[in-house]
Amino acid sequence: MTVRPLPGETVQVQPSTPHAHSGGGLGLAGAVTIAWRAILGSPLRSMLTALGVIIGVAAVIALTAIGAGSTAGVTKNLEALGTNLLTVGSVRGSFGGGSLVRGGPRQTITLKDAEAVAALYSARIAGVAPTSQSSVQAKAGSTNTQASVIGTWPAYQTVRNSPLATGSYFTDADVKGRKRVAVIGYQVAQDLYGEGDPLGQKIKLGSVSFTVVGTLPDKGASGFGNPNGQVLVPLSTYQQRFANTRSNGQPTVQSVYVQANTAADLTPLQDELTALLETRHKIDDPANDDFQIQNQADSLASLSSITTTLTLLVGAIAGISLLVGGIGIMNIMLVSVTERTREIGVRKALGAKPRDILTQFLVEAFVLSVGGGVIGLVLGVGAAYLGKLAGISPVFSPVTVGVAFLFSALVGIFFGYYPAAQAARLDPVDSLRYE
């Protein structure tokens, strides 16, 4: 087919147009070359076109990596405090009219309850550690620091995963004898003794003097509940020297940690402990239970559920961003088809088939979206590592990265097809006359 220009009309072939000897047809490599030249011809417009894809991919990768890292950190901290744990605590409330009114400061778990659990389930559990704690001023010489003193049993070492750095734990004999001995946390040791050896030294907790018999290692924690700021003492000593709360004439404790032999024992053991405590506390209706039992496995499952929900939410938000980015690609590609109508006419006049035109513009949309995906990937990884400033180590999932990148490519193909098809359907004669 030979197309002659109208009188006074000059046909100019753009640089991206193939030479006449090629017949106008393109292989995939040629289509990519033309697409790349078109993108580089308007770099700012191309970047703005791919911005939605960039933001979507970056959001998916960064937020899922930070979320997974946060979950892993919390899970690690929970497991560092002991595994296969049941925590028995009081429901803080008071009884009125035969029902439990929550909100009052009432401790209902007694030391006898802890002893009953240890005696009845000795074959089913790895350890039992009742605890009571309060905040005190710790002093050594002229130096002082704030510490959390915890009264407990020697089993606390294994139940709460608290191995020693130096020295030894207090013993059952120390508990029975109400000895004033203490195991101090890493930060307490640093604040009070610096580089010196605290073993055998005196430490004053409030107004009571103790002898340091052991130290705990650095657990890398800070803030509320910091294990580095703890001081462990025999429970009997704590009740005598710091707080001796009672319920029905019996000494009470704030919590009882029960470590099951295996994770499979947690749920049945929880049911048995519930029945035991209801019997001991003379409770007929479970709705009136004055205690609660927290299952570590349930806590981890709840955490996993929350993380999954947040991940889906992030994915939905990022999906909307990718959708908007895809619409932006389609919009700019339609404008590009209009701007390059004469180029399309020349190519068709030189023998290009509709599928060649379709391939050229489809590849251009694909390159835009994939390029946006690559930039988004880099930005997402960089943003995720900024989470380290907040103490969160990102955890990257190859599946998430792959899905985000694949979705960005599919967005380019899906939203680029319509403009490419429009270009392929243009009439060559009308295209050559287009101004």
Domain span at residue 423 reads 25-74+303-433
Answer for the pair 73, 64: CB distance below 8 angstroms, yes or no.
Answer: no
CA distance 111 to 130: 7
Looking at 19-23, 142-146, 315-319, 422-426, which range is the least confident one?
Answer: 19-23
375 and 235 inside one domain = no
What does the radius of gyration of the chain's CA atoms come to, in whole angstroms?
A: 35
Q: Is residue 80 part of a domain?
A: no
45 and 98 inside one domain = no
pLDDT at 31: 67
- List the Cα angle 357/363/368 in 5-degree steps: 135
Quickly tell me which residue has 């292989």 as its tokens. Answer: 27
Q: Is residue 96 part of a domain?
A: yes
118 and 258 inside one domain = yes
CA distance 343 to 107: 84
pLDDT at 101: 39
Q: Is residue 258 part of a domain?
A: yes
pLDDT at 92: 58
Q: Is residue 105 part of a domain?
A: yes
What residue type is assigned to position 103 of the chain? Answer: G
pLDDT at 116: 92
239 and 192 inside one domain = yes
369 and 227 inside one domain = no
Helix axes 296-339, 51-80, angle to 10 degrees: 170
CA distance 319 to 59: 10
Q: Is residue 135 part of a domain?
A: yes
Say which residues have a Cβ less than 8 Å from residue 114's Cβ, sequence separation at least 6. Answer: 128, 130, 253, 256
Is the confidence at residue 434, as pLDDT, over 60? no
338 and 235 inside one domain = no
C-alpha distances in Å from residue 49, one per residue of 52, 300, 370, 387: 7, 42, 12, 28
Residue finishing a domain among 289, 323, 339? 289
Is the confidence at residue 376, as pLDDT, over 70? yes
Q: Is residue 355 part of a domain?
A: yes
Quickly tell me which residue has 């999932």 as its tokens. Answer: 397
- The tokens for 360 are 């050229």
Q: Exposed, middle or buried by CB within 10 Å (0-12, 13-18, 19+), for 336? A: buried
Residue finishing a domain among 289, 311, 340? 289
132 and 265 inside one domain = yes
35 and 116 inside one domain = no
Give the pLDDT band of residue 96 (cuts 50, 70, 90): very low
Q: Is residue 294 part of a domain?
A: no
59 and 96 inside one domain = no
Give the pLDDT band of residue 433 (cuts 50, 70, 90): low
CA distance 29 to 254: 73
70 and 112 inside one domain = no
143 and 255 inside one domain = yes
Give the pLDDT band of residue 40 (cuts 50, 70, 90): confident
Give the pLDDT band of residue 265 (cuts 50, 70, 90): confident
pLDDT at 402: 83
pLDDT tens string 161-211:
888 999 999 999 999 999 999 999 999 999 999 989 999 999 999 999 999
Q: Is residue 297 part of a domain?
A: no
pLDDT at 145: 94
pLDDT at 428: 66
pLDDT tens string 357-367:
777 778 888 88
122 and 269 inside one domain = yes
Work out how many domains the chain is built from and give that number.
2
Give the pLDDT band of residue 430 (cuts 50, 70, 90): low
Residue finishing a domain among 259, 289, 319? 289
